[in-house]
Amino acid sequence: MTTWTVEFLQPQDASESGSDRALIILNQPFSEELFYRLWTSSQWHCCADGGANRLFDILAAAQRPLFLPDLIKGDLDSIRDDVKEFYLSHVYSPSLTSAFFTKYVPSSTSLSSRIRTRTRPTLMKCVAAISDKEAHEQNEYDVVLLGGLRGNASFAVTDDNVGWVLDAGEHTIHIDHSVLGPTCGLLPVGIASTVLSTTGLRWNLSNHESSFDGLMSTSNHVLPDEGSVWIKTSNPIWWTVELRSRV
């Protein structure tokens, strides 16, 4: 049984929480509120290529030296020249010409040689903005599902939802209703099918086969009087749950 929480979405200081988390900022829009929440709940910060543009633009000039990433990784085809110049003068980044997210993710468990001043996270928790609107972004989503981030407690976060991979087996997801819900989904992405059983949802499943050609629970709801959701799956799935309007 694997137990999940999203305590990193609660107001807290990462140094006080005692948890080691890494934040990867992708080239997707995000609000200031979400940015500050995720940055302060993480101890190590990385921009994947054009994510550096997003970080640069969301901050005022006086703030930028206070929110420096530990690493910028990518082939730099998306980062603007002014952004590249600024961060090259501030950030130690020894692999500025390596490939994009696919090359970054497998190396995330051996970060110590790339971190300027902080120790390597002992438990990689990736919180990032991921979208599947374009082919380049769809590749990032596939990497997460097909093994790039599996085996770590890794989360994909946007202003609208948070999602992560549930490996085959049983899972208990603690639901903080001040942050999560109500809409949720269990998606059999990257697999032919899976068999699902659940409790704690408005429309529970009992040994139901789920596939893109058949049944999919894409718009379920977490119950307001339930503190957790239990899911059993025969194959890895993508679990996603809506974020309240203000996290």
Tens of pLDDT, residue by residue over 1-46, are 999 999 888 866 444 554 578 888 988 899 999 999 999 988 888 8
Summarize the confidence of residues 71-85 as an average pLDDT: 85
For the chain, give the longest Cα–Cα distance: 56
Q: Count CB-CB contacts under 10 A for residue 94.
A: 10
Q: Where are the beta strands (DSSP E) in 74-224?
A: 126-128, 155-157, 161-166, 169-174, 180-187, 194-199, 208-210, 217-221
Alpha helices (H) along 42-200: 51-58, 81-88, 101-104, 135-143
- Please choose, from the candidates 25, 100, 105, 9, the residue with its C-alpha nearest in 3D space to the C-alpha of residue 57: 25
* CATH number for the domain running over 14-159: 3.40.50.10240
Residue 5 token pair:
């929480």
Q: Rounded to two decimals, what is the model's pTM?
A: 0.78
d(CA 217, CA 224): 18
Reported as a pLDDT band with limits 50, 70 and 90, residue 72 is: confident
Q: Where in the chain is the domain with CATH 3.40.50.10240?
A: 14-159
Q: Is 46 exposed, middle or buried (0-12, 13-18, 19+ CB in 10 A)?
A: buried
Three-state SS at 7: helix
- Please choose, from the candidates 160, 157, 187, 184, the residue with its C-alpha nearest in 3D space to the C-alpha of residue 173: 184
Domain 161-247 has CATH 1.20.1290.10: no
Query: How many Cα atoms sit within 13 Å of 220 on the Cβ side?
Result: 23
Q: 232 near 198, Cβ under 8 Å?
A: yes
Categorise residue 133: left if φ over 0, alpha if ψ from -120 to 50, beta otherwise. Answer: alpha
Q: Where in the chain is the domain with CATH 2.60.120.320?
A: 161-247
Taking only the tens place, the pLDDT of each residue in 174-232 is 999 999 989 999 999 889 999 999 999 999 999 999 999 999 999 999 999 999 999 99
Residues across the chain = 247
